Structure 1
Amino acid sequence: MKLLLDLGNTRLKWALREGAAWAAQGAVGWNEDVVLALHDAWRGMATPNRVFGASVVDGGRESQIAAVISACFALDIEWLRTPAEACGVRNAYPEPSRLGVDRFLAMVAVHADSPLPCVLAGVGTALTLDALTADGQHLGGLIAPGPQLMQQSLLGATSRVRVERPGRILEAADNTPDAVASGCWQAAAALIERFVAHMSGPLGGSPMLVLGGGDAEVLLPLLSHPARLSPDGVLRGLAVWSDAHSPLAPAF
């Protein structure tokens, strides 16, 4: 039994994996009392044999979570730092560790499920885009602010753009709240579709488009290109990686 941890920019997601299934899972935001929330969530839970973690946060928060794991289960976290190659996926970055481990694991998850040419879009605090060939070669990608961060940045950098309510996503708006929300969400959708169009040639045709991240469901209906959701991609990729690195696993 393994406990898998995904330390993202906005929240920590976790899953207890037994065999091929989740025995338990949950999430806690960094704006909450993370230590108390995890102690409460894990009280009475079955004790894992190993703990694996993937992190895009600072070392201080990693140490905080490591202390909770030690207190709850008397185990250390086995952190995955982005490799040059693992589980059939080959990293395009000349300095492999510079690629976010969340992006790498999302590719691992999709490649394990469907080894087809694809574009992966992570829609969260950041909007990340990656192109992956059928044989697992990463062709690189893009990073931009996510739709919510775009809105926060716009409102924080302007003096006269003010909103008094959350905006609706429309094709054309006649008020500022809807104009801000619509412009940022449509900008994200347009960037994804442009990246898919430009990477179709290198990927050998129309690639499968896969969306992950906390805002993926909101963005999905804005896209004209067919797409599917890939929930918990980092945790599922971490599960694939942890299986490959168990004592009885074959070498990759």
Structure 2
Amino acid sequence: MYLFIDAGNTRIKYAGHDGADWLFHDAVPSDASAPLKLPAGFAPQRILVVSVADAICNAFIEAQLASWAECIEWFRSTPERCGLRNGYEEPTQLGADRWAGAIAAWQHVKGACLVVAAGTATTIDVITADGVFAGGCIAPGLEMMRRALARGTAALPLAAGHFEALPRNTADAIFSGCLNAQLGSIARMRGRLPDDAPVLLTGGAAPALRDGIDGNVVELPRLVLEGLLWTARSEQGA
């Protein structure tokens, strides 16, 4: 039995796997305000955790899993894993969540693709046809952009808006501007890949972005957790 955990800035996503199928998946806030809820009788033999959260969140995870402390492993970026090479200048400095997502993306496509994780931050990463994580960019996420405008200006509100090609009210203008900024970054990065290269999209803001991305878009909500699964399987096979 495996337990895989993806601790982000906003949510802790977690899922159980029996080696053949996903058994459950859930999420709680990263502020330690709600416990992890594991099914009765579930006893993991291996726990892989990827975290970009703070020390408080990491300590919370360890406390929640104290009964299986000896099973916990913290996933880190490496120069190579699961057939994918890490082209970062300092491979160990690549965010572990980006590396896990890239591993899963490579296993899905086995070719050139763009990996977009749209969460608190938006990461947009390039994987080449020969199996190299070539690099990528990090931008504020869609919600962070909206909140930054509200905090940094006197007259712009934090209000719900909708996408419009030519917005005619302030709420729609803010939402449309932030969404276009995200989509523009994705389009520029995608231009570095062949036209038929798919975009693999994950993260809480993925539904808002999906319709604005041209071409082949595959939404994979558990991409990082899948990367942990592929890692566990490859090491088991070794």
Q: Which of residues 215, 223, 232 is equivalent to 1:233?
A: 223
**Is contact 2:113–2:128 with CA below 8 Å preserved after alignment?**
yes
Q: Which residue of 1 aligns with 2:4?
A: 4
Distance in 2 separating the partners of 1:162 and 1:132: 38
Q: Which stretch shifts more, 61-70 or 41-50?
A: 41-50
What is the DSSP-based 3-state SS (H/G/I as helix, E as strand, rest coil) of the residue aligned with 1:151?
A: helix
What is the DSSP-based 3-state SS (H/G/I as helix, E as strand, rest coil) of the residue aligned with 1:173?
A: coil
Q: Which residue of 2 aligns with 1:136?
A: 131
Q: Which residue of 1 aligns with 2:169?
A: 175
Distance in 2 separating the partners of 1:113 and 1:5: 20
TM-score between the two structures when normalised by the length of structure 2: 0.94
Distance in 1 separating the partners of 2:39 and 2:85: 39
Residues 67/32 of structure 1: CA separation in 2 closer, same or farther (3 Å cut): closer
Distance in 2 separating the partners of 1:74 and 1:91: 29
Q: Which amino acid aligns with 1:241?
A: T
| Residues 101-124 of structure 1: per-residue CA shift (max 9 Å, x gap) | 111111111111220111111111
| Residues 118-177 of structure 1: per-residue CA shift (max 9 Å, x gap) | 1111111111111111231111111111111111111111111124x4111111111111
**Is contact 2:126–2:135 with CA below 8 Å preserved after alignment?**
yes
Residues 132/43 of structure 1: CA separation in 2 closer, same or farther (3 Å cut): closer
What is the correspondence of 1:180-191 to structure 2 with a 5 Å cutoff? 180-191=174-185
Q: Which residue of 2 aligns with 1:46?
A: 42
Structure 1: stretches of 5+ with no match in the other structure: none
Q: Which of residues 231, 234, 237 is equivalent to 1:244?
A: 234
Q: Which residue of 2 aligns with 1:69?
A: 65
Distance in 2 separating the partners of 1:210 and 1:42: 29
TM-align CA RMSD: 1.6
Identity of aligned residues (%): 34
Distance in 1 separating the partners of 2:20 and 2:105: 16
What is the DSSP-based 3-state SS (H/G/I as helix, E as strand, rest coil) of the residue aligned with 1:181?
A: helix
Aligned residues: 238
Shift of 1:205: 4.9
Q: Which residue of 1 aligns with 2:187?
A: 193
**Is contact 1:17–1:24 with CA below 8 Å preserved after alignment?**
yes
TM-score between the two structures when normalised by the length of structure 1: 0.89
**Is contact 1:193–1:225 with CA below 8 Å preserved after alignment?**
no
Q: Which residue of 1 aligns with 2:23?
A: 23
The 4+ residue runs of structure 1 with deviation greater than 3 A are 73-76
**Is contact 2:202–2:219 with CA below 8 Å preserved after alignment?**
yes
Q: Which stretch shifts more, 73-82 or 210-219?
A: 73-82
Shift of 1:31: 4.2
**Is contact 1:150–1:184 with CA below 8 Å preserved after alignment?**
yes
What is the DSSP-based 3-state SS (H/G/I as helix, E as strand, rest coil) of the residue aligned with 1:44?
A: coil
Residues 47/224 of structure 1: CA separation in 2 closer, same or farther (3 Å cut): same
What is the DSSP-based 3-state SS (H/G/I as helix, E as strand, rest coil) of the residue aligned with 2:211?
A: helix
Shift of 1:240: 0.5
Distance in 2 separating the partners of 1:195 and 1:94: 19
Distance in 2 separating the partners of 1:74 and 1:142: 35
What is the correspondence of 1:55-134 to structure 2 with a 5 Å cutoff? 55-71=51-67, 73=68, 75-134=70-129
What is the DSSP-based 3-state SS (H/G/I as helix, E as strand, rest coil) of the residue aligned with 1:190?
A: helix
Q: Which stretch shifts more, 41-50 or 9-18?
A: 41-50
Distance in 2 separating the partners of 1:32 and 1:69: 13
Distance in 2 separating the partners of 1:125 and 1:74: 29
Distance in 2 separating the partners of 1:31 and 1:166: 24
